[in-house]
Structure 1
Amino acid sequence: MNVGTNVGIGLPIGDPTTLVTWARRADAGPFSTLGLLDRLVYDNPEPLVALSFLAGATTRIRVQTEVLLAPLRDTALLAKQAATLDRMTDGRLVLGLGIGGREDDHRATGTDLRTRGRRLDQQMATMCRLWHGEPYGDGVGPIGPVPARLGGPELLFGGFKPAALERVARWGHGYLAAAAPSWAGGLFDTVRGFWKHHGRDGDPRLVAQVNVALGPQHVLDDARARMHAYYAFTGTPDRMTAGLLTTPTEIRTAVTAFADLGADEVMLYCYGLDPDQVHRLADIV
C-alpha cells in the first residue's frame, strides 16, 4: 500500500515491559511515529517517561504523546520535560496535547475540570515563551534547556469542539483526529478554516487515529477486552470496540480514506499486547 501518507503505531498500554520490543520493531520497519496515550487514574505508563525510554531504544522514529493531558501537569515542569526530550532526541518529539474529560484524573491532581480549556491556553502562552528562551516572569528567569527547534517541539492538539480545533491555529502545528473518516473530513475542514482565519502560513499537519488489531483470534479478543475496559467510563464501550479494524482490507481502506481527506499521517492504535502485530501491520503498510 502506497498512498503517500505516513503511518505510525499507537502503542498498547497494558504492559509497559513489552514496549521496547514494539518500539524497536517499528523503528526497523516502515512506520513514522510511536504514539502513547495519557491517563492518570488508570493502569497505563506515564507517556513522557515511557517515550523517553523508547526514544533511547530507537534511532529514527518519532515519539508522540497522543494526547498528553497538559492541564493535569505543572506548566513550567512540563515545558522543561518536553524541551529536554526534544533536545535529547534531536527533534523527534511530537507533543500532542489535550484537556481530557475524566473527573477522577482532575481530582487526583487538584485541578478544575470546568476550567481545563482555559488552563491549557494559559499553559501554552507560558510554554511557548519559555521555549523561545524568554524568562518565566515575576522575577524568575528562563527555564532551559533550549529545545531542538527554537519555539519548542512540534505541537498537535486533539479534541472535537470548536475551541479545541481553533487551538491548533492559535498555538500548534497540526491536529490529531481520533475519528472515523466520515467524521474526520469535517473536522479537518474546520481546522483548515481556523488556520486561514488566523493568517497562518502553509497548511496544518493533519494526523488521524484508528484502532486496529491484527492476528489470530486470541489477539483480537485481547484487544477488544482491553479496549472495552479502557472505554468503560464512556458508558458505551461496545460502540467503541465495534469500530476496531481487524483485517488487512479494513485497515488499508481506512488509511486510503484518510489519505484522500488530506491526512499527513495515520496512527494505527493497538490495544492488544502481541508485538508480532508490528510485523503484520508492516506487511500491509
Structure 2
Amino acid sequence: MKVGIGLPPHDPISLVDWARRIEKGPFSAIGMLDRIVYHSPDPLITLAVLAGVTTRVRLQTEVLLAPLRNTALLAKQVASLDRLSGGRFVLGLGVGNYRGPRYDDYKVAGVDRHTRGRRLDEQVAEMRRIWKGEPYDAETDPIGPQPTRPGGPEILFGGFRPRALARIARFGDGFLAAGPPPYVGHLMKEVYGHWRAAGRSGSPRVVAHCYVALGGEDVVDDARTTLVDYYDYTGEAGGIAEYMVTTPRDLRIAIDRYSDLGVDEVMCYCWARDAGQVERIADVL
C-alpha cells in the first residue's frame, strides 16, 4: 500500500518545508486541493515549486477544477509541470463537490457551472489532442512542450455522482475516492462496473483520501477549524470533519481498511499547519 501526504491549505511558504519532510519519508506522493475563492495557493504553481525541492515523490492535484481554466493554457501548464518534474506529475481532475458546486469559484472565473461536466469532458479530449502535438486548428501551430509520457500524464478523476464515476472509464486512468472506507467501497463498486461496461482492460488505479490530524489537542483543533472553514460551502462541513482521523491507532486501522478494499494508494490529507504531522504519520507506517 502506497501512502502519500495531502498538503494543508495554508501559507505557501510553509509548504516547501512540508515537501522536504515528505521526500525524506516513506511516502509516495504530495497532493494539493484546488479552490479560487480561498486563501490556499494555486496547486499548479505550488507543485512546480515543490518539484524543485523533491526528486522522488509524485506530485498530484486532487482535484483540479479544470472547467475554471482555459483549456489550451491548462494543457501547456500541465505539460510544463510534467516535464519539469521528470514525469512525476499526476493530473487529478473534477468539477467540484456535489454537495456544493462551488458557486463562488465559478462566478469569479466567469464560467457557467451548469455545463461544468460537459466542459470537463471536452477539455480532456482537447488537452490529449494538444499533448499529441497536433495543431490547435488549421491556422495555429501546435502547443508545446510535449509531456514526458506520450498522450500526457496520468489522469485521475474525482467524483460522487453516476455521471462523474462513469467519466473515469471513458477518459481516465483512475479514481480519486474521498470518504471513509465503507463509502469509498460503495463508490469503487460503481466505478468498476463502468470500467467493465466500457470494455477497459485491467482495473482503474484508486487513490483514497483520508483526513488526518495527529498530535495534541491544539493540533487537532486547528485541523478541525480549517477543515470546517474550507468545506463551509457544502453546508455539511461538520459531518465531513467527523471522519477525520486523530490517533495513530485509528490511522493504522483506516489504512488497513482501505487496503482490504483494494485501494492502491491512500493520501493522508493534513489540515493543521503543524508540519510535524509528516513524521507522526511516518511513525504509523
TM-score tier after normalising by the smaller chain length: over 0.9
Q: Does 1:77 align with 2:73?
A: yes
Aligned to 1:120: 120
Aligned to 1:30: 26
Q: Does 1:167 align with 2:167?
A: yes
Structure 2: state its 5+ residue gaps.
Answer: none
Give secondary structure in 2 for the equivalent of 1:140. Answer: coil
Aligned to 1:196: 196
1:32-55 Cα deviation digits (max 9, x unpaired): 000000001111100000000001
Aligned-partner Cα distance in 2 for 1:238–1:169: 32
Q: CA deviation at 1:201?
A: 2.0
Aligned to 1:103: 103
Aligned-partner Cα distance in 2 for 1:167–1:133: 24
Q: What amino acid does structure 1 have at the position aligned with 2:185?
A: G
Aligned-partner Cα distance in 1 for 2:190–2:108: 34
Q: What amino acid does structure 1 have at the position aligned with 2:161?
A: K
Q: CA deviation at 1:141?
A: 2.4
1:51-75 Cα deviation digits (max 9, x unpaired): 0000111110011001000000000
Give secondary structure in 1 for the equivalent of 2:62. Answer: strand
Give secondary structure in 2 for the equivalent of 1:224. Answer: helix
Aligned to 2:136: 136
- TM-score when normalising by structure 2: 0.97
Q: Does 1:186 align with 2:182?
A: no
Identity %: 56
Aligned to 2:14: 18
- TM-score when normalising by structure 1: 0.97
1:102-154 Cα deviation digits (max 9, x unpaired): 11101101100100000001101100111111121242221111100001011
Q: What amino acid does structure 1 have at the position aligned with 2:235?
A: G
Give secondary structure in 1 for the equivalent of 2:31. Answer: strand
Q: Does 1:239 align with 2:231?
A: no
Give secondary structure in 1 for the equivalent of 2:38. Answer: coil
Aligned to 1:58: 54
Aligned-partner Cα distance in 2 for 1:164–1:139: 34
**What CA RMSD, in Å, does the superposition of the two structures yield over aligned residues?**
0.9
Aligned-partner Cα distance in 2 for 1:133–1:235: 43
Aligned to 2:275: 275
1:148-199 Cα deviation digits (max 9, x unpaired): 0001011000011111111111111100011111111121111111112222
Give secondary structure in 2 for the equivalent of 1:274. Answer: coil
Aligned-partner Cα distance in 2 for 1:237–1:73: 26
8 Å contact kept, 2:48–2:84: no
Give secondary structure in 2 for the equivalent of 1:86. Answer: helix
Aligned-partner Cα distance in 2 for 1:183–1:274: 28
Q: When the two structures are aligned, how many residues end up with a matched partner?
A: 281
Aligned-partner Cα distance in 1 for 2:34–2:55: 23
Give secondary structure in 2 for the equivalent of 1:87. Answer: helix
Q: What amino acid does structure 2 have at the position aligned with 1:32?
A: S
Q: What amino acid does structure 1 have at the position aligned with 2:86?
A: D
Aligned-partner Cα distance in 2 for 1:150–1:27: 27
Of 151-160 and 235-244, more deviation after overlay is shown by 235-244
Aligned-partner Cα distance in 2 for 1:228–1:45: 18
Aligned-partner Cα distance in 2 for 1:236–1:110: 26
Of 232-241 and 270-279, more deviation after overlay is shown by 232-241
Aligned-partner Cα distance in 2 for 1:149–1:184: 29
Of 182-191 and 73-82, more deviation after overlay is shown by 182-191
Aligned to 2:176: 176
Aligned to 2:158: 158
Give secondary structure in 2 for the equivalent of 1:78. Answer: helix
